[in-house]
Amino acid sequence: MSEEHVQEQWKKQLVKCIRCGTCRSVCPVFKEENSENTTARGKVQLLEGVVEGNVKLTPILQERFNKCLLCKACVKGCPSGVRTDLLFLSARQANARKNSLPLVKRVAFKGLTFRKLFDTGLRFGSVMQNVFMKKSADGRGNQARFNIPGSGLDLRRIIPPLADKPLRDRIPEKITGENAKGKAVFFTGCMLNYIYPEAGEAVVNILRKNGWDVTVPSDQACCGTPAFTSGDQDTGRKLAADNVRVLSGDYDLVITACASCGAALKNEYGEIIQDEDTRRKWEKISAKVMDISEFVEKFGDPGLFGPLPLKITYHDACHLVRGMDVSKQPRQVFAAVPKLDFRDMKDADVCCGAGGTFSMVYYDLSRRINDHKLDNAADTGADYLVTGCSACRMHITDGLSQRGSNMKVMHTAELIDMAYKSGENQKKGGK
Amino acid sequence: MDQQIVRKLTAIVGEKHALTEFEDRYCYSFDSTFINAMPDLVLQPGSRDEIAAVCRVAYEHDIPVVTRGAATGLSGGAVPVKGGIVLEMTRLNHIIEINTVNRYAIVEPGIVTQNYLAAVDQAGLFYPPDPASSKMATLGGNISECAGGPHGVKYGITRNYVLGLEVVLADGSIVQTGNLVDGDMSGPDWTMLFCGSEGTLGVITKIMLKLTQKPQAKQTMMAIFDRIEDAATTVSTMMASGVIPTTLEIMDNSTIRAVENFLNIGLPVEAGAILLIEVDGDPKAVEKHVQHVMKVCQDCKALTVKAAKTTKEADALWKARRSVSPACGKINPTKISEDATVPRSRIPEMVAAVREIAEKYKLKMVIFGHAGDGNLHPNILSNKHDKEEMARVSKAVEELFQAALKLGGTLSGEHGIGYLKAPFLVWELGEEGFQFGKDVKQAVDPKCLLNPGKMFDYRAS
Ligand SMILES: Cc1cc2nc3c(=O)[nH]c(=O)nc-3n(C[C@H](O)[C@H](O)[C@H](O)COP(=O)(O)OP(=O)(O)OC[C@H]3O[C@@H](n4cnc5c(N)ncnc54)[C@H](O)[C@@H]3O)c2cc1C
Ligand code: SF4
Ligand code: SF4
């Protein structure tokens, strides 16, 4: 796409902005920073300036567009329907073409496209991590032992360790049964595969419990979100094409359990795929993409749930609630689990501050945004915070550790799996 | 701007709160209108004393100072048309006190109106002025523009609630006007001098506001008319009949269609106009007023009058009203929002005049607004990239002002004069009145550094 063509695309959105400033009232970054250069309005007008030739694609401009969570709150809040999400993604790409990305990111994204190499790297990483990382005091995760150059890992930050054995090594590639109700292909995404394999196993259990055949293709690649949201469109496009090929089988549903992977497969690929053939194939896949909570709400048998006497609250991941329109479904599932004490928190759908690479570059800011989430969660008195996104989980867990809270975090799929297990135990326990 | 001065100013507010990069300053070159002008420096002061210090430096070096709230103004007030410093007030956003016994509040000017309204509500009291922009605008901006809102018919607008202000003047001196005693009259009402002064006379750094009691009950109604003229007559008849609704909002056919397209909530798209009416008070009085309002509407040829049966129904109607701006934005991107206002009794004539002007200049124009205040909000929907159309727009705007003034009205019911209406102010005030305004400005801000190029500082070029 030529730069002129890109700007023509921008203009269609830019012309809709009436500068009303409504986006000020919803932007989590603006609420902390109080500065117009963080608002959607500010960024939209900067792009207007670019189109008019008054503003240049400078490194400073690039930085201003990076200081955004891509949380889509401004898209939802905009009364004029300006698709700021599309604009900001496209702007990051234009900036990356002009100013290129930092070397670490370039190398890292390139690595993503060599699936095997990436895979080996992370396996090796699971062995090597103790060299660079040490266990945090509360045992919840790891902390960097020293500043790893370019890693963006703040010394205070507590991140989960890499799993000893990735998810896709723990389960067979194909699990079939008799009289299957349908065929699901599970797109695990990187975080479930390498960091939270237990949550991934829960997803497989849920599908099997409901009588679905499951395929977990071993050659699936990273969904590409980290690359294309940073502006590396080429890598994003290559990964999208790989995944479209892998997922194009004879499946009824494409199941995801990661907000960003789901939103990418369902919607965002539409913005990066250019090749017509790939696009046609992708459109078929897009219609089948379903988050695991939506699956349980639509196809799950609530009769299988056993009692779960837990106090939980729920955090809506941005890319689930605004990227895939999933927010009622998990709540309906919670309501169907006997004895489960679900307490909705204030501002449950406000971003937790993770925002992909945002939390690496602006760690302090992302902590401040996260603090509101943790306060609201604490106010509910819940013992567990449930969420459908591993990136949110990681950022929230870090926050809880930082403040010494006892609240525990789990994936929606893990909670559902627990409810099924409780149902099984009840049955075994006799009448 | 001289680098040495920039350093001096930066030292006052701190590195983090002085924005010098082009990209950042660009974000402060506009408000909710369609004009742009670049500031030389953006400062985000954290206290009154920092503001006073900034003003002293600016005064010494003859640098313009443009105070900015949320930049949602609709007359170009926060746009630095002569460059200089933009002083962003949003870090001064604290509530200092809400006093339920004496019913007043003391707040800082940068607080978002909605946050203040919520705190007042929590304290069990009521602050009526609620501009449609309350989610983003600041109280300082509300006072500087003398903002109005749907409650204005019964409760009045911002100026009716300001007890006193603390103001930093151009040379950095600090004055306090008014006090917490409602009814203070030691000397002229200086507070009113600054209320609606749009940042041209001083920087408001503290605000004392009057609070009132929450109404016990309210009821929302919708009256549907075949012809907008009948709706207009209803408004003037209603106001003359003695019962003052809390709210009396009008929407013409194009507005109804735009909103219905946007929200799909079953508005009557065939209607010539609708009136949204709310009455409040103690439950018995509300019931009586509802009967009365319904009768007036029927007498004035309303097709139907419906009372909302549930709060949900009522909320849907108010949502429709609040959605007017965005809904219109979807038709045509550049929305020139005028708020020329006439005495209530002349609303029918003003409606006719607006329709004539729209036709004459072949422009898409919608009418909605606080009809109960005579504030009609004729909005022109155009496209700023269409030069030829914009030329017709500016002629139409002039004629709108003339029409309002001819009917004994005013250029601005609530959006202020700022930059966009400054050329026409002399029409309303006359040469002598305009000169008097200039003299006052000269006396308070002799170097003309505060928000230059606006209101009385406008010079025809
Ligand atoms: C969608 C939308 C709906 C609106 N609805 C309404 C409505 O219903 N009623 C209404 O009246 N207006 C309405 N407005 C207009 C606007 O919101 C109001 O004028 C509001 O009061 C402006 O507040 P602000 O904080 O954005 O001020 P700004 O736009 O930042 O500033 C406005 C003026 O006030 C001055 N100023 C700001 N703060 C201070 C201070 N502390 N000291 C001195 N001067 C200061 C500025 O210099 C400028 O001249 C609407 C605007 C939009 C975009
Ligand atoms: S809310 Fe939408 S239209 Fe309003 S300023 Fe923000 S982006 Fe522009
Ligand atoms: S995407 Fe989120 S962080 Fe970015 S501008 Fe919009 S609301 Fe703010």
The answer to whether B21 contacts chain A (CB < 8 Å) is yes
What pLDDT score was predicted for residue B181? 81
For chain A, give percent helix, strand, coil, nearest 5.
Answer: 55, 10, 35
All residues at 6 or more sequence positions from A395 whose CB lies less than 8 Å from its CB, including other chains: A352, A353, A354, A359, A366, A370
Q: Which helix (H) or strand (E) segment is A431 a member of? A: none
A72 and A323 in contact (C-beta within 8 Å)? yes
Average pLDDT over residues A126-142: 71
Token representation of residue B326:
């965005």
- CB B383, CB B420: distance < 8 Å: no
User: Quick one: pLDDT band at residue A230, thresholds 50, 70, 90?
Assistant: confident
Using an 8 Å Cβ cutoff, are A167 and A188 in contact?
yes
Does the pLDDT of residue A229 top 60, yes or no?
A: yes
Give pTM, 2 decimals: 0.91
Closest CA to A344 of A355, A356, A334, A357: A334
Helical pair B48-61 and B3-13, crossing angle rounded to 10 deg: 170
Over the stretch B158-167, which tens digit does the pLDDT of each residue have?
999 999 999 9
Question: Do residue B27 and residue A25 have CB atoms under 8 angstroms apart?
Answer: no
* Residues whose CB is less than 8 angstroms from the CB of residue B59 and which lie 6 or more positions away in sequence, other chains included: B170, B171, B172, B447, B449
> In this model, does residue A431 exceed pLDDT 70?
no
* Torsion angle in degrees (nearest 10) through CA of A198, A204, A209, A215: -160
**Chain B residues touching residue A79 (CB < 8 angstroms):** 323, 325-326, 329
Residue A393: pLDDT over 60: yes
Closest residue CA from atom 3 of ligand 2: A17
Q: What is the mean pLDDT of chain A?
A: 90
pLDDT band at A145 (very low <50, low <70, confident <90, very high): low
The DSSP code sequence of B390-452 is HHHHHHHHHHHHHHHHHTT-BSBSSS--TTTTGGGHHHHHHHHHHHHHHHHHHHHSTT--BST
Q: Give the minimum alpha-carbon distance from A61 to chain B in angstroms, rounded to a whole number.
A: 6
B312 interfaces chain A, CB cutoff of 8 Å? no
**Residues for chain A: how many in total?**
431
Contact B96, B208 (CB under 8 A): no
The reported pLDDT for the residue numbered B183 is 66
Helix (H, G, I), strand (E, B) or coil at B36: strand
The DSSP output letter for B58 is H
Q: What is the pLDDT of residues B380-390, one digit of tens each?
A: 988 888 899 99
Summary mean pLDDT of chain B: 93
Tell me if B71 and A21 make a contact (CB, 8 A cut-off). yes
**What confidence tens digit (pLDDT) does each residue in B309-362 have?**
998 999 888 888 888 877 887 777 778 888 889 998 898 899 999 999 999 999
In contact, A191 and A391? CB cutoff 8 Å: yes
B242 beta partners: none
Sign (positive/negative) of CA torsion B118, B120, B125, B129? negative
CA distance A20 to chain B (A): 5
Which ligand is closest to the CA of A322, given by its number? 3
The two tokens of residue A233 are 């469109």
- Does B88 lie at the interface with A, CB-CB under 8 angstroms? yes
- Find where tokens 């949550």 sit: A199
Contact yes or no for A37 and B23 at CB 8 A: yes
Give the residue whose CA is nearest to atom 4 of ligand 2. A20
Q: Are the C-beta atoms of residues B93 and B206 closer than 8 Å to each other?
A: no
pLDDT above 60 (res A148):
no
B427 and chain A: CB distance < 8 Å anywhere? no
Please give, one letter per residue, the 3-state secondary structure of B259-319: HHHHHCCCCCCCCCEEEEEEEEECHHHHHHHHHHHHHHHHHCCEEEEEECCCHHHHHHHHH
Least trusted range by pLDDT, from A73-87, A115-129, B187-201: A115-129
Cα A256 to ligand 3 centroid, rounded to whole Å: 24
Instruction: For CA atoms B441, B442, B443, B449, give the dihedral sign.
Output: positive
Per the listing, tokens 């004055």 go with B175
Name the band, by pLDDT with cuts 50, 70 and 90, for residue A165.
confident
CA distance A118 to A111: 6
Among candidates B34, B136, B385 on the partner chain, residue whose Cβ is nearest the Cβ of A25: B136
* Sheet strand arrangement including B95-99: B95-99, B104-107, B203-210, B162-168, B174-178
Helix, strand, coil percentages for chain B (3-state, nearest 5)? 40, 20, 35
B92 to chain A: nearest residue by CA?
A34
What is the CB neighbour count within 10 angstroms for residue B285? 15
Separation CA B318–CA B149 (nearest Å): 12
d(CA B5, CA B7): 5
Give pLDDT, residue A112.
73
**Which residue's CA is the nearest one to ligand 3's atom 8?**
A27
In the block, which residue shows the tokens 């600090």? B174
pLDDT value of residue A127: 64
Check residue A258 and give left, alpha or beta (phi > 0: left; psi -120 to 50: alpha). beta
Query: Tens digits of per-residue pLDDT, A187-216?
Result: 999 999 999 999 999 999 999 999 999 999
Digit-coded pLDDT (tens) for B66-87: 999 999 999 999 999 999 999 9
User: For A291-304, what is each residue's pLDDT tens digit?
Assistant: 999 999 999 999 99
Among the residue ranges A146-150, A363-367, B14-18, B278-282, the one predicted with the least confidence is: A146-150
A168 Cβ neighbours under 8 A, 6+ residues apart: A188, A193, A216, A218
Q: B288 CB near a chain A CB, below 8 Å?
A: no
Q: With contacts defined as CB-CB under 8 Å, which chain B residues touch A54?
A: 26
A64: left (phi > 0), else alpha (psi -120 to 50), else beta?
alpha
Return the structure tokens found at A257: 């359990």
Beta sheet of A158-159, edge-to-edge order? A133-135, A142-144, A158-159
C-alpha angle A37-A42-A48 in degrees, rounded to nearest 5: 135
Q: What is the DSSP code (8-state) at residue B208?
A: E
Q: Is the confidence at residue B439, as pLDDT, over 80?
A: yes
> Can you give the three-state secondary structure of B121-189, one letter per residue?
HHCCEECCCCCCCCCCCEHHHHHHHCCCCCCHHHHCCHHHHEEEEEEECCCCCEEEEECCCCCCCCCCC
Task: Note the ipTM here.
Answer: 0.91
Which residues of chain A make contact with B135, given a CB cutoff of 8 A? 22, 25
- The per-residue pLDDT for A351 is 97
Pocket of ligand 2 (CB under 6 A): A 17-23, 40-41, 44, 78, 80, 82, 84
Portion of chain A with pLDDT greater than 70, in percent: 94
Chain B residue numbers touching A81 (CB-CB < 8 A): 326, 330
Minimal Cα–Cα distance from B89 to chain A, Å?
A: 10
- Which ligand 1 atom minimizes the distance to the CA of B130? 8
